[in-house]
Amino acid sequence: MRTSTSSPVTSDFIEAVGACRLFRHMEPTAVTALASELEVRNFRVGELVVQRQEESGSLYLALEGVLLAHQYARSGREVGFRRIVAGQYFGELGVIDRRPRSVNITALTPTVLGVLPGRAASELIETNPALRRALMEDLASSVRELSERVFELSVLSIPCRLDMALLRMGLEKGVTDNQARLQSVPTHAELATLVGGQREAVTREFGRLEALGLIAREARTVVLLDMDRLSLEVERAGGDTPPIPR
């Protein structure tokens, strides 16, 4: 069952909307005007935001919190597609093709969303070239990422896929002195869902990396102690690694 509460639009809300990737090419005044059209919705941990196959054309902006795009097989196995964090958005495919939702979206933490109804979202895409440019760039990026993931799931081991996921998270957070600090890292179960494996395999790989001196764990924070060596571990297992900034 899904529930949500509504909140008034505040200056903090307008600032959070302006930080959304979808609006990166738009003028600030246009983004401010758009913010007043959004509904603010709050979700608790574990609440379902979007259900697969439902008819809904709304566009969602993640303003606070973390969500998971996922799906369940008939066997009950959960498959994770991506984590959605503040500054990202979802629901754009339904706005474009008006087809039912393709995945479930669940709140992993307390979450605040800005929601734009389908008709308004469609009009925005049709009339705003700056937003349309950002959307096309992001769709192209998604196709590339999905192509990479199909390859990884087909030929790489679970430990290698996990190491690659940690490397990517480290690069997103920022590398300093060949190290990266990952705060509020996903649980082992969540990581297993995202890399297409079992929680036990993720736990074993974390233990191996810790024994090698490549990571250190502090509650929900993981410190990647040597990005170069972690990259070499991925390469030895047959995976491709992005360049580590110097």
pLDDT tens digit at each of 246 positions of the chain = 455 544 456 777 788 999 999 999 999 999 999 998 899 999 999 999 999 999 888 999 999 999 999 998 888 888 888 899 999 999 999 999 999 999 999 999 999 999 999 999 999 999 999 999 999 999 999 999 889 888 888 889 999 999 999 999 999 889 999 999 998 888 898 899 888 888 899 999 999 999 999 999 988 899 999 999 999 999 988 887 777 776
Q: Where are the domains of the chain?
A: 5-153, 157-236
Q: Which candidate, 17, 245, 246, places its Cα nearest to that of 114?
A: 17
CATH number 3.30.950.10 is the correct assignment for the domain at 157-236: no
The token pair at 107 is 């709140």
| DSSP state at residue 24 | T
Show Cβ contacts of residue 159 under 8 Å, excluding neighbours closer than 6 positions: 201, 204, 205, 208, 237
> Are 182 and 173 a contacting pair, CB within 8 Å?
yes
Rounded CA separation 196/80 (Å): 7
Rounded CA separation 236/231 (Å): 9
**Which superfamily does 5-153 belong to?**
Jelly Rolls (2.60.120.10)
**Per-residue model confidence (pLDDT) at position 8:** 55
> Are 17 and 63 a contacting pair, CB within 8 Å?
yes
Q: What is the DSSP string of 202-240?
A: HHHHHHHHHHTTSEEEETTEEEES-HHHHHHHHHHTT--
Q: CB 3: neighbour CB atoms within 10 A?
A: 10
Rounded CA separation 112/138 (Å): 22
Rounded CA separation 70/59 (Å): 18
**Per-residue model confidence (pLDDT) at position 197:** 87
Rg of the chain over all Cα atoms, to the nearest angstrom: 19
**Per-residue model confidence (pLDDT) at position 56:** 81
pTM here is: 0.80
